[in-house]
Every structure is written in C-alpha cells, then in structure tokens.
Amino acid sequence: MTSTASIPDRRHDLDWIRVGAFFLLILYHVGMFYVPWDWHVKSPHPVEVLEPVMLLTNPWRLTLLFLVSGAATRFMADKTTAGRLTKARAARLLPPLLFAMVVIVPPQSYYQVVEYIAAHPGTPLTVDHFWTRYITASGHWCGTDGKCLITPTWNHMWFVAYLFVYTLALAGLLLIWRRLGEHIQAGAERALNGLGLFIWPILFLGLMRTWLYPRFGETHALIDDPYVHAVSFSAFLLGFGLAKSEALRDRLVAARWPALVLALMAYIGWASFVWTYRGETPVPPPGLKEAMRFVHPVEAWCAIVAILGFGAKHLNRGGAALRYLTLGVFPFYLVHQTLIVVMAHHLAKLGLPQPLEALILIVATFAGCFATYEIVRRIPGVRILFGLKGQPAAEANRPPAFA
C-alpha cells in the first residue's frame, strides 16, 4: 500500500536539488571549455587532469534532473487533467526552446565555426551572413573529417526538447491510465525495498549501458537517441512515481550514507579506468571494459540515492531564496552555455593565468545568469520566452529578498 499522507503539495528538498543540479551543470560546462573532450569552443591550453573531476558528476547529473523533473510533473498532474498538463508544459517549454534555437544558441555555433576556421588555415568555411545561413540551414559548415554543423540546432536545449516529449508521452498514458502515478509509486515501493533499492536500478542502467550505448551512444538529436531515451524517460517516470511516496523517501534517507560510500568507490574505479585508457592506447581488456559498463551505473544510481537521501534529510525548508532560485534556474539554464562560449572565446585571447581566467569565467557566467533573470522577469512580453509565463507581475517586479 502506498503512503502519501505526510507529503506536501511541494517537496522543498527536490526544489533545492534541482537548483543545485543546474548550478553544477553550469560549472560542468565551464569545465568543458578546458577539458580535452570535444566541445563548441576550446581553451588553447587543455587541462588533461580535469578529466577525473568532470567524471565525478558526468554519470548522474542529467539523469537526476530528469528524475526531479518527473517528480515536479507529478505534483502538476495530480491537480489537473492530462490536456491541461500538456498545455501548461507547452506554454512553459516551447517558447523558450524556439527562442533559444533562433536567438540564444546561434552565437555558440558562430564561435564554433570561427575557432574551426582559425585552427584550419585555408579552409573554405566562412561566417559571412552567419545568422541567415544558420537559420536557413545553408551554412554548409563541414570539417575535413566529414562532420558537419547542422543548423538550426538546440545544443544544450536538448534537455528541454526531451522534457517536453516525455511530458507528451506521460500525458498520453494518463489519458488511458489516470492513476498511473499511484501505480508506478506502488510498483517502485515494492521493487525498491532492501537491497532492491540498489540492485534493480543498477542492473537496468548496466544493461542499457551494455546493449544500447555501444550501438547508439548519445546524440541528443531526439529521433536517433535510444540509449538516452531509455535512461532519461525511465528516470522521468520513476521521479513521477516516487514524488509522493513517504516510504521511498524514508528508504532514501536511510540509505544515504551507504549510497555515498558506494558512489565514491565506483567513481574512483570509473575515473581510474577512463584515465588509464584515455586516448587510443592502451586498449582495455574486453572483460574489464564490460565490467565498467556496470561500474558506471553504480556511480550514477548510488550518487542519485545519496543526493535524494541527504536532500530529504536536510533540505526540507523553503523560503524566499528557494522561491527566487526555483523561478530563476530556467532562465539560468537558457543563457548559461552561450555566456560561457562567448566569454571563454574572448578571455582566451587575453593571455591571463589560467586559474584567473577560469575564475573570471565562472563568476561572469553566474553574474550574467542572475542579471539576465533580473531583467527578463520584469518584462511581461519577454518572460514567456524565458519560461516565466506563470510568474505573477507583482512577484516579477519585486526585488529579491533572501530572508
């Protein structure tokens, strides 16, 4: 039997976790400028030792966000019909998605092409009339390796596109199964009990990592991304089910310390593996490579359990700061990557000491996010483009107060 008696209409702990996860995402994308991995713009002085640091959040950060988004959707869905839920999510997500693809994301592609041209003297690629070529998909920006920049694109906004599609799928299920949330909750409470709290999610994630990831990888292109859909939509549905479960909340709290220890142990194993076998040589033994397909999920799921458990234990208070950040985090997400790309490209030309450069980039990105939110939340015609449609005008014009 499910238990929801003491669960309020909103979970402050999940709101705090959502805010924290998005802030970590900003730091992660700053790191992407410096780590040797491929990204839109790159530091001329890559920091190889940053790779293990990036792997600390890489396996779980987005899965956690989809889970928390599913939980938030549960609170919305229980108060309205499937049709109204769809309309509300469309009004919240589609205008920012389209606006970002047309206005916010193009600078990322622009500087990506600029840096490619600078790194490949003599290339026929140009950035003249960039925005027109970007929006009409007529840029023909293809590298010597045959890879092309397809525009218009959503880049980091793929998360918003996927979230909207998952909401549509959920709404369709709710039309034929109104008590879906209660049934998922009941099933999760039965399965995620005792060692099952760890075994079943890790087994599922490990099988997806074994069967789907080697074949499809992660594309974030929606129609050819089965691995990401399998993991992310499952996390979204699990969040939808556990949002109001007192039993699961208590189990997560009880498991938080063991989960943290397991997550750290798995992280050490996974990061050591990636560091040892980075590049083309040496080649990892097949058996070790297959084993790591399950070590990665151990880190991912145990980190999520630990975060949810510690959050449920210690982050149950709301307040003005949380209200402010809960509304602001979506505009932060919209603009943060473009701010990072543009500022990083120009900062790299100043020849500053790299630690100072990174500090400036981090501080300037957060400052730009807060400034953007403070401006757009006060402009009625613009708020909808940044996901703030539901914010009352009086609240939008009120100065932030962190009481």
The type of residue at 323 is: R
CA–CA separation, 152 vs 295, rounded Å? Answer: 37
Q: What is the pLDDT of residue 1?
A: 44
> What helix, strand, coil percent values describe the chain, rounded to 5?
70, 0, 30
Q: What is the pLDDT of residue 400?
A: 52
Q: What is the pLDDT of residue 145?
A: 87
With a pLDDT cut of 70, the percent of the chain lying above it is 95
Which spans in 348-392 are helix H? 354-376, 380-383
- The string of pLDDT tens digits covering residues 198-250 is 999 999 999 999 999 999 999 999 999 999 999 999 999 999 999 999 999 99
Q: What is the pLDDT of residue 10?
A: 78
- The string of pLDDT tens digits covering residues 244-303 is 999 999 999 999 999 999 999 999 999 999 999 998 778 999 999 999 999 999 999 999
Q: What is the pLDDT of residue 319?
A: 94
**Mean pLDDT along residues 110-125:** 96
- Provide the b/e sequence for 329-363 (b: ≥16 CB within 10 Å): bbbbbbbbbbbbbbbbbebbeeeeeeeebbeebee
- Own/partner pairs for 27-33, CB < 8 Å, 24+ apart? 27/362, 28/54, 28/57, 28/58, 28/61, 29/156, 29/336, 29/337, 29/340, 30/340, 30/344, 30/358, 30/361, 30/362, 30/365, 33/340, 33/341, 33/344, 33/361
DSSP state of 282: S
- The string of pLDDT tens digits covering residues 131-165 is 999 999 999 999 988 899 999 999 999 999 999 99
Q: What is the pLDDT of residue 279?
A: 81
CA–CA separation, 375 vs 381, rounded Å? Answer: 12
Two tokens, residue 403: 């009481």
Of 35, 32, 65, 62, nearest to 48 (Cα)? 35
Model pTM above 0.85: yes
Q: Is the pLDDT of residue 167 over 50?
A: yes
pLDDT band at 397 (very low <50, low <70, confident <90, very high): low
Q: What is the pLDDT of residue 109?
A: 98
pLDDT band at 402 (very low <50, low <70, confident <90, very high): very low
Q: Is the pLDDT of residue 391 over 90?
A: no
Which spans in 243-319 are helix H? 246-254, 256-276, 286-314
pLDDT band at 399 (very low <50, low <70, confident <90, very high): low
CA–CA separation, 55 vs 395, rounded Å? Answer: 39
Cα distances from 179 to residues 86, 99, 153, 382, in angstroms, run 17, 35, 37, 36
Q: What is the pLDDT of residue 17?
A: 98
More confident residue, 184 or 399: 184
With a pLDDT cut of 90, the percent of the chain lying above it is 91
Average pLDDT value over all residues in the chain: 94
Q: What is the pLDDT of residue 221?
A: 96
- The string of pLDDT tens digits covering residues 40-99 is 999 999 999 999 999 999 999 999 999 999 999 999 999 999 999 999 999 999 999 999
Q: What is the pLDDT of residue 250?
A: 97
How many Cβ atoms sit within 10 Å of the Cβ of residue 21? Answer: 19
pLDDT band at 5 (very low <50, low <70, confident <90, very high): very low
Q: Is the pLDDT of residue 388 over 70?
A: yes
Q: What is the pLDDT of residue 9?
A: 72
pLDDT band at 394 (very low <50, low <70, confident <90, very high): low
Q: What is the pLDDT of residue 360?
A: 98
pLDDT band at 197 (very low <50, low <70, confident <90, very high): very high
**Mean pLDDT along residues 109-127:** 96
Three-state SS at 148 = strand
